[in-house]
Amino acid sequence: MNSTLSHDQAWTLGIVSNCWKAQLDAGVELDVLVDESLQRGFRVIELRQGSLGKYEFGAMSLPRPDRLAELQSRFTGVQFNMAMSLPCLGGEMTRRTPLFVAGRAAAIAMARGGQPHLRLVDLETQPSQRPELTVGYVARALVELTESLIETHGVLSIENAKQPWPWFRSVLDEARRRLGHNATRLRCCFDPCNLLVTECPDDVPDIVASIVPDDVSMIHVKQRRDGQILPDVSAGDLDWPALLYVIQQHGHTAPVLFEVAPHADVWQHLKHGVSHLFEAVVSERGAST
């Protein structure tokens, strides 16, 4: 599988582990799936809480740092990060919140002396229903969480999800302003498909074009149709080749991680998606020159 978009830029490709839920539920070991992804050219793996197999436990799917460290040691050619679903934009989470502590510990374990990376997504907080959630109030809490990662020389990424993009962007900008010279330790896990939850579809290309490379730690790629996430990214509500071309033109170097819907033929869907999208980007680039 060739991830090269053009002669002057290559993309680092990755996968979010919830793509493998069908395989994990069928008893396939996470190690096997990581090895397969590496063989297919996916070198960044986001380990998503709830899709870790034997590397998590309990009703809350808590990660096992000791086992995750062992996983990292077996796949030194893979860049791992830990991903968890937490109400991190509600302004009430602190560095002592148990689930955050668990995610931080897992990120540290997987870094093995490198840079820990914890990604959070908030699927609960609705700013429109909570007028007390001012930008400053939420930014203060994010600063505290980020400083907890900074102590480990790590990075905290927040994914845009169910919150309006202008509000989300304002919160991250304010938190980064307060972090000063450590601003780049707080980044956005940018998911254009999630924008369709809160924004007008016609606005998505302009939002994508507004993203500054230094603000982004990774880019999630998934496709939607009729409100449902699809197992293949080639056709749906988003014109992914056009979006990837804009991202390329703006000099982004963040890894591109596929987060397709689980499917028994996940590898075939990923192969088709990569081939279709990146060949289309090359074609679009040629047409514009």
Q: What pLDDT is attached to residue 113?
A: 80
**Sign of the Cα pseudo-torsion (23, 161, 100, 211, in order):** positive
Amino acid at 174: E
| Rounded to 5°, angle at Cα 43 from 38 and 45 | 100
Give the tens place of pLDDT for each residue, 188-232. 999 999 999 999 999 999 999 999 999 999 999 999 999 999 999
Helix (H) or strand (E) holding 16: strand 13-16
Euclidean distance between CA atoms 144 and 121, whole angstroms: 16
Predicted structure pTM score: 0.93
**Which 3 state secondary structure label does DSSP give 97?**
coil
Give the tens place of pLDDT for each residue, 91-143. 999 999 999 999 999 999 999 888 999 999 999 999 999 989 999 999 999 99
By CB atoms closer than 10 A (0-12, 13-18, 19+), residue 146 is: buried
